[in-house]
Amino acid sequence: MGAMFAFAESRGGELRKVAYEAVTAARKAADASGGGEVHALLVGAPGLAGRAGELGRYGADVVIVVEHAALERYSPEVCAATAAGRLRSGGYRAAFFAASAQGRDLAPRAAAKLGTSLASDVTEFEIQGDAVLARHPAYTGKVIVTLRLTGEPALLSLRPGAITAAEQPRTARVERAAPGIDPASERVVVKELSQGSATLLDLGEAPVIVSGGRGLRAAENFKLVEDLAAAIGNAAVGATRAVTDDGWRPPTDQIGQTGRLVSPDLYIAVGISGAIQHLAGMRTAKTIVAINKDKDAPIFKVADYGIVGDLFEVVPRLTQEILKVRRGQ
């Protein structure tokens, strides 16, 4: 029976959805190996301790809170030193991070400090005796690699959305701790955090993504995609690389091998042919819908449901039908 560790990612004093996913994963790992405790680490500016209860809701037994006025924004060296320090002393079997921009920055640093290894961008895992087995889509998602981690603790970063956050409420004990190093010694200083639009759901957090490709023919036609996303309600808008390269959408909207890797519950591909580069970013979505006029488009090979047809007719109709359904509820 070993304790499990989860890094609870936050931004601007708020927990990120991936924090609940990491805690859920740690809870699952703990329960599968004898029911040990889950310890979540929360690092940020004073006041963040107020969020500890939310982590208890997803199965954390202990929330280690590190608050410091200089930790309002992400402080990579402080976070890495704090996480590594705790992992070194705590007898943890495995540690879970998010494979988010922050987690991908943090987890390898912590692993190197511990001299242990890290499985990145993991979609599934299993504790097996002395080892942890982790599944990771590689080669632009064309090959699924099962990795064996033998270091202790085993570090894993989880693909956002791959583990569904599940409530398993308990009252978490809050344990205060000091930063692993003096925040004033940080050599990598985040001077500014510019938040994107607060009204739009982020691609990594949205349960539904509506994504558009070249088939939309012009930037202004993304209105169709936006309207569909708005009709669904809890949806974000994504795009292919061709579209972001052409400046129809900002580069941060790109889903694919060189953009965001997403696993929403529902992915609606509008006017997207399904190039390898794009499939690499979304093929782990739970349900995929494709709307394309070319019946031979590769996107139909990965889609659960497809409509062959003119998106300029199909998408507005879909928006209408969904609005009808939602109004009827």
Partner 1 sequence: MKIAVCLKRVPDMELRFSIATDRKSLDQGGLKYEMGDFDGYALEVALQLVEKQGPGEVVVLSLGPDGVQETLRKGLAMGAARAVHLKADQVPFDGMAIAHALAAELKDGGYDLVMFGRMATDTASGTVGPMTAELLDLPCVTAISQLEIAGGRGTARRDLEGAAETVEFTLPAVLTIDEGIARARLASLKGIMAAKKKPLEVKPAQLGEARLTIEAMALPAERTGGRIVGEGADAVPELVRLLRTEAKVL
**Interacting positions 201-220 with partner 1 (CB under 8 A):** 202-205, 208
* C-alpha–C-alpha distance, residues 104 and 97, integer Å: 8
**Only segment of 44-52, 86-94, 163-171, 294-302 that touches partner 1 (CB under 8 A):** 294-302
* C-alpha–C-alpha distance, residues 241 and 106, integer Å: 27
Q: How far is the CB of 230 from partner 1 (least distance, A)?
A: 14
Helix ranges restricted to H, 241-290: 241-245, 276-282
Using CB under 8 A, pick the residue from 90, 108, 183, 298 that binds partner 1.
108
**Only segment of 21-29, 44-52, 181-189, 214-222 that touches partner 1 (CB under 8 A):** 181-189
Dihedral sign computed on CA atoms, order 176, 182, 184, 186: negative
Residues 57-76 as x/- pattern, contact with partner 1 by CB under 8 A:
----------------xx-x
Query: Does 137 sit near partner 1 (CB under 8 A)?
Result: yes
Query: Does 3 sit near partner 1 (CB under 8 A)?
Result: no
Q: Which residues of 13-40 are buried (b: 16+ CB within 10 A; e: fewer)?
A: eebbbbbbbbbbbbbbbbeebeebbbbb
CA angle 231/234/238 to nearest 5° reads 85
Q: How far is the CB of 288 from partner 1 (least distance, A)?
A: 7
Query: Does 13 sit near partner 1 (CB under 8 A)?
Result: no
**Residues 226-255 contacting partner 1, CB under 8 A:** 232, 251-252
**Residues 73-92 contacting partner 1, CB under 8 A:** 73-74, 76-77, 80
* Nearest CB to partner 1, comparing residues 40 and 291: 291
* Nearest CB to partner 1, comparing residues 62 and 206: 206
- Other C-beta atoms within 10 Å of 187: how many? 6
156 close to 118: Cβ distance less than 8 angstroms: yes
